[in-house]
Every structure is written in C-alpha cells, then in structure tokens.
Amino acid sequence: MGELDPDLLQNQYMPEFLLERLHWIKERKGNGSLRVVLSRNMGRAHMGAHTKDGVMYISINHRHFIRRSEYLNKNDYDRRGIRNIFALALSHETLHLEEMAGNHLYKRPFIDDIEEEMFVRGVVYTKGSKPLIEQKEAVDEDALATRNTLILCGEEWLTCEEFREQITRLYKYQRTTKSAPLQEKP
C-alpha cells in the first residue's frame, strides 16, 4: 500500500470515495483475501481484476507501470498527482471485484462487460476524478477523456452512446490494434 495508505496524513485531501476504496483494499490485503500483484502477461491492459481459489487479485501491468511512472515524472506530475492516478485506477478495479463477488453495484445485472465498464467508470468519475478536478488536483488523460465524453451526455453514463463507443474502442485496442485509444485533451 505504501504511499497510498488511506490512513496517512498526506492522503486526507482525497475525496471520501477514494479513501473508502483504499481502506477496502487495505483491509482485504491485511486479511489475505486480496492480493495486488505486478503481472508481465497482460497485453495492453493497464490493470485488471480477477478472483482465483477464493482470493481476489488486482494485477498491475508491470511494463505499463514502469512506462507510466516514467511518463508521469517527465510530464511534471508530482508524487501527489501520481497518487491520485493510482488511487483512481485501484478504486476502479475494486468496483469490478465487488461485482465479481456478487455485491451487485447496480439495480439490475449489467447487459455486458462494456456496460459494467461504463458503470464503473461513471462511478469512479463522479465520486473520484470529478471531485479531484474540482479541487484542482492532477488527474490523467483517461479521467479527462471520461469527463469530456460524459459532459456530452449530461453524465448519464449507462445511456451515453459516445461513452459506450469510447470504451468499446479502448477494449478493442487492449486486445488487438496498435493505435492509441484515448487522446483527448483537457
């Protein structure tokens, strides 16, 4: 957990939702029901979540993690900005894990993976990146791209066609093509 420990004084500026999610991780790591691991076999995905033999896993793409840290350093994200970005990404994965564990997040089952992703991104945006942006905190281009798309739809995530298209493109990119997925500017 290190620098992202939600009990550290340095993290108390974070929105309630992120602190709650980081506590969720800390508690489960502590009792062995969750492991956060670096993985070398993830294709283009940055992070992923799965369960195996009753243990939950959040996998971080090792190669991407290193490239990402270099990129963020080069682009003048300070440690706090980097913490924001990883806190948002980890919180995202916890919502998938909740869903896998049967703690359904929405009032009906999701139609497909894309819809689950739309929901998860919508929640993380509204409760995580949006308040951070309002606090003038640094977030990454993914969060800004989500914001820009959701603004087009009045933040109605699950019915937002542009949002579905954006996520569908991202999924395809992670599995196949070589073009960059999200290039929108703030």
Count Cβ atoms below 10 Å from residue 93 Cβ, excluding itself: 25
CB of 125 to Zn ion, least distance (A): 12
Site string for Zn ion, 105-124 (x = CB under 5 A): ------------x-------
CB of 34 to Zn ion, least distance (A): 16
Quote the Cα angle for 139-27-143, to 5°. Answer: 15
Complex with Zn ion: residue 13 or 171, whichever CB lies closer = 171
Complex with Zn ion: residue 77 or 119, whichever CB lies closer = 119
CB of 77 to Zn ion, least distance (A): 22
CA distances from 91 to 21, 118, 172, 180 (A): 6, 14, 23, 24
CB of 171 to Zn ion, least distance (A): 9
Complex with Zn ion: residue 45 or 153, whichever CB lies closer = 45
Structure tokens belonging to residue 170: 């991202």
Complex with Zn ion: residue 73 or 115, whichever CB lies closer = 115
DSSP-H helix ranges across 8-160: 16-30, 62-74, 79-100, 113-124, 130-134, 141-152
